[in-house]
Amino acid sequence: MGFFQWTEKSADQLQSGGVIGPDERLPWPQTGLMGIQHVIAMFGSTVLAPILMGFDPNVAVLMSGIGTLIFFLITGGKVPSYLGSSFAFIGVVIAATAYGGTGPNTNIPVALGGIIACGAVYMLIGFIVQVVGTGWIERFMPPVVTGAVVAVIGLNLAAIPVKNMAANNFEAWMQALTFVCVGLVAVLTRGMVQRLLILVGLVVASLLYALFTNGLGWGKAVDLAGVMNAPWFGLPQFHAPVFSAPAMVLIVPVVIILVAENLGHIKAVTAMTGKNLDQYMGRAFIGDGVATMVSGAAGGTGVTTYAENIGVMAATRIYSTAVFLVAAVLAVLLGFSPKFGELIKAIPLPVMGGVSIVVFGLIAVAGAKIWVDNKVDFSQNKNLIVAAITLILGTGDFTLKFGDFALGGIGTATFGAIILYALLNRPGEDGPSQAGH
């Protein structure tokens, strides 16, 4: 397969509910719709992360699109992935810039220097993997580890919609109505509508929310004033980096988390598609590193492979890299549209929360599916202990600090799983489990 060559699947194959592989695609109109769905799935987090750091969300969206295009080119169009704003940078950027939490961050340039340095180290790690190969990956990340790490990516994010995206009882009920809408679309529809379950469910739930609030006055009304007043086209606020040694020392260690996220992403996609993508691991690290450097050079956040897109791929069984090419181009265009940014902000937060519950849950289940597909034997103590501890570390967001650098739940769970398995994988450790029922 070349950069822009995919085997087109017919309408009959689509209706039968089959898997669309990375080197295949739907007809272009349907591929475009899938691209829109992925943009919407990632938009909440890609916009939220820069807001929490005081960055311009439109720059973040623009650079996520450019970053995804860079990743697509460097991986030869072989790895289905979208690159969005990484939450791993939030804590260190706030610490490096002394950001107060509201309004624009006046020290953005200092953070950008650290983000670029982090991307450079990430790229170097990718080159090392290219030279050394990926044999070590199989040794250190068997299915029991991979499944636990993928599940943790979803479980670690669970508190975001549950705790932060519903302010009262009505909004909690709207979250529930939203995931019921997505579930009904998933089960009761067929063909392309079923594949667009996230997008269709979100639209239906948003309309119901507007009916209940704007119509019946039950909650906070949908406000479209920002959408109406925003211009269609406009330049986002770019910034130039400043390289400060203290900021770089603080931010560069985030590369550990980025490597863990990317590694988990590729192992998850490998498990879901049945196509071994380990050979592209080095190129994926290089692509993500270069994309982070380019983003930082323009005033954007560091980027990473997006877990939200694993959830959408798991639900739709469409892994075509053509979808991500479309999503990237859309994001670049939307980065220059303040009106679209306002439209996304106008989507009711509880509705986004309900969709997030579905997407994050699908990621967690994708991890469990790795265990099932690979017939992981939980009668072996080493498998039982590794999975059990990894899930709790990630879900509880267990954090270890090394000076000013904090390794959060996903990082501690990933490296904890790898180290634990290496320690416990000894001859004679494969006897019957002593764990009671």
pTM score of the predicted model:
0.72
Amino acid in position 338: P
Over residues 358-386, mean pLDDT: 87
154 burial (CB, 10 Å; 0-12 / 13-18 / 19+) is: buried
Query: Which pLDDT score is estimated for 1?
Result: 46
Identify the top-confidence range among 47-51, 174-178, 301-305. 174-178
Query: Which pLDDT score is estimated for 245?
Result: 84
Q: Which residues of 397-419 are buried (b: 16+ CB within 10 A; e: fewer)?
A: bbeeeeeebbbbbbbbbbbbbbe
Question: 3-state SS string over 282-333?
Answer: HHHHHHHHHHHHHHHHHCCCCEEECHHHHHHHHHHCECCHHHHHHHHHHHHH
Q: Which residues of 335-360 are buried (b: 16+ CB within 10 A; e: fewer)?
A: bbbbbbbbbbbebbbbbbbbbbbbbb
Over residues 40-49, mean pLDDT: 74
pLDDT at 17 over 70: no
Instruction: Give the distance, in angstroms, between the CA of residue 405 and the centroid of all CA atoms in the same chain.
Output: 22
Mean pLDDT of the chain, nearest integer: 84
Instruction: Give me 210's structure tokens.
Output: 């507007």
- pLDDT category at 421 given cuts 50, 70, 90 is very high
pLDDT tens, residue by residue, 300-357 = 999 988 777 777 887 788 888 888 899 999 999 988 988 877 777 788 889 888 887 8
pLDDT tens, residue by residue, 86-97 = 877 876 787 788
Amino acid in position 117: A
> With the CA atoms of 120, 126, 130 and 135 taken in that order, what torsion angle do they form, in degrees rounded to the nearest 10?
150
Instruction: Give me 39's structure tokens.
Output: 């943009």
Query: Which pLDDT score is estimated for 212?
Result: 94
pLDDT at 50 over 60: yes
Query: Which pLDDT score is estimated for 196?
Result: 72
More confident residue, 202 or 257: 202
Question: What residues contact residue 119 under an 8 Å CB cut-off, 6+ apart?
Answer: 288, 289, 290, 291, 292, 293, 294, 295, 296, 302
- pLDDT category at 390 given cuts 50, 70, 90 is very high
CA 419/CA 425 separation, integer angstroms: 10
- pLDDT category at 237 given cuts 50, 70, 90 is confident
User: Residue 9 gets which letter from DSSP?
Assistant: P
Over residues 366-386, mean pLDDT: 90
pLDDT at 109 over 90: yes
By percentage, how much of the chain surpasses pLDDT 70?
A: 91
Among 123, 125, 410, 124, smallest CA distance to 288 is for: 123
pLDDT at 403 over 90: no
Q: Residue 407: which H helix or E strand, with range? A: strand 405-407
Query: Which pLDDT score is estimated for 156?
Result: 79
Among 40, 6, 29, smallest CA distance to 311 is for: 40
Query: Which pLDDT score is estimated for 436?
Result: 35
Query: Which pLDDT score is estimated for 77?
Result: 86
More confident residue, 140 or 84: 84
Over residues 14-43, mean pLDDT: 79
Among 192-196, 215-219, 271-275, 350-354, where is mean pLDDT lowest? 192-196
Residue 383 near residue 145 (C-beta atoms within 8 A): no
pLDDT tens, residue by residue, 127-159 = 999 999 877 766 777 889 888 887 887 787 788
pLDDT at 266 over 70: yes
